[in-house]
């Protein structure tokens, strides 16, 4: 795995201009993804994961806007590129697997045409060549009878097959980075496992880096190399997936892990008390404080520092501030 980051995000902030004050959906977010690495971005619904993904590709629609930050991809800051230059990055540089394939796929266009469209747009194939490439991609994502399915419409496919088509669309131009936004949502358990196996296989076959967005830490445990935990627009913990699963440093991460069903009959499921806060009415200090079982008085006064708790492992929590080595907070 390369030591140089393929994608480097610094201080990304995205706001929505609604009401009397901007609503901050992504708040000073920073992370890196290296070549061949899978970073899992995890958190409850409403934590800002999908807005982060759309911000990276500059697909946030008004009243949303990117207010600050840098998004360095292959050495270029995507936030400074023209829209024409960004069109060259989307698809060819960064592929996107949408959360809801039935909504993302054009219902009146054959799936083969949709897969080949980006190849034609980016000048990588003629229309005839794009069709042959679409069949190859359908075969690569394990769709049976790809030479027949290439002429199907989205409604003729099952949910799992539509998700495979979305992956084929994302892979069409062989981008070095793919963003997969909740790729197993609304699929049954068996199909979820198949899609995760497929993601792993495609990562090896196409030499991909992957940003995997999900609310499911079980999915992260299976696929990711590192994990970033997001809450109320901020990353509250980040580190190697094994370190975070074994020794979570933030109370929110511990709550997420405790809420995973363990399959023991009759056992009450654990849950994090309360709900994700309204971004327009965030509490002072730590946003998680109202739900935190380890809340301290200082949690209500100021934003907790971002502290290194172990090599490559950081958390934004006052529980670690006193023991933090000098210069570890950032």
pLDDT in tens, 79-102: 999 999 999 999 999 999 988 888
- Output the domain CATH number for residue 247: 3.40.50.300
Q: Which residues lie below 8 Å from residue 151, measured CB to CB, with a gap of 6+? A: 110, 112
Number of domains in the chain: 2
Residue 312 lies in a domain: yes
- Cβ 316 vs Cβ 305: under 8 Å: yes
Question: Are 86 and 109 part of one and the same domain?
Answer: no
Phi and psi of 22, rounded to 5°?
-60, 135
Residue 326 lies in a domain: no
CA–CA distances in Å: residue 253 to residues 84, 91, 190, 263 = 40, 33, 26, 20
Domain boundary residue, one of 172, 195, 214 = 172
Question: Are 179 and 308 part of one and the same domain?
Answer: yes
Range of the domain at 148: 101-172
Question: Are 178 and 153 part of one and the same domain?
Answer: no
Residue 255 lies in a domain: yes
Question: Are 108 and 141 part of one and the same domain?
Answer: yes
Q: How confident is the model at residue 323 (pLDDT cuts 50, 70, 90)?
A: low
Domain boundary residue, one of 139, 172, 205 = 172
pLDDT in tens, 146-200: 999 999 999 999 999 999 999 999 999 999 999 999 998 878 888 889 999 999 9
Question: Are 295 and 148 part of one and the same domain?
Answer: no
Residue 325 lies in a domain: no
pLDDT at 102: 86
Residue 327 lies in a domain: no
Residue 328 lies in a domain: no
């Amino acid at each position: 795995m390369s030591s140089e980051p393929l994608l480097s995000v610094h201080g990304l902030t995205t706001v929505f201009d609604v009401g009397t004050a901007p609503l901050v959906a992504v708040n000073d977010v920073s992370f890196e993804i290296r070549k061949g690495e899978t970073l899992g971005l995890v958190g409850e619904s409403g934590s800002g994961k999908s807005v982060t993904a759309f911000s990276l590709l500059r697909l946030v629609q008004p009243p949303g806007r990117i207010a600050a930050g840098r998004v360095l991809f292959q050495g270029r800051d995507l936030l400074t590129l023209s829209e024409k230059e960004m069109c060259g990055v989307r698809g060819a540089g960064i592929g996107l697997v949408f959360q809801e394939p039935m909504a993302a796929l054009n219902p009146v266009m054959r799936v083969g045409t949709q897969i080949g469209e980006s190849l034609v747009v980016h000048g990588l194939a003629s229309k005839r060549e794009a069709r042959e490439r679409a069949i190859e991609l359908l075969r690569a994502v394990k769709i049976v009878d790809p030479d027949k399915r290439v002429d199907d419409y989205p409604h003729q496919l099952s949910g799992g097959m539509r998700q495979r088509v979305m992956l084929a669309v994302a892979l069409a131009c062989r981008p070095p980075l793919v963003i997969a936004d909740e790729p197993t949502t609304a699929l049954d358990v068996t199909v979820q496992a198949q899609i995760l196996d497929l993601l792993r296989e495609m990562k090896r076959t196409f030499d991909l880096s992957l940003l995997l967005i999900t609310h499911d830490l079980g999915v992260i445990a299976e696929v990711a190399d590192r994990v970033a935990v997001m809450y109320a627009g901020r990353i509250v913990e980040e580190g190697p997936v094994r370190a975070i699963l074994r020794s979570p440093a933030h109370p929110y991460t511990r709550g997420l892990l405790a809420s995973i069903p363990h399959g023991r009959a009759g056992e009450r499921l654990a849950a994090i008390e309360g709900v994700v806060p309204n971004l327009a009415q965030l509490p002072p200090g730590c946003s998680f404080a109202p739900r935190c079982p380890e809340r301290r008085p200082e949690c209500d006064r100021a934003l907790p520092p971002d502290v290194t708790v172990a090599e490559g492992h950081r958390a934004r929590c006052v529980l670690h501030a006193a023991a933090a080595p000098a210069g570890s907070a950032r």
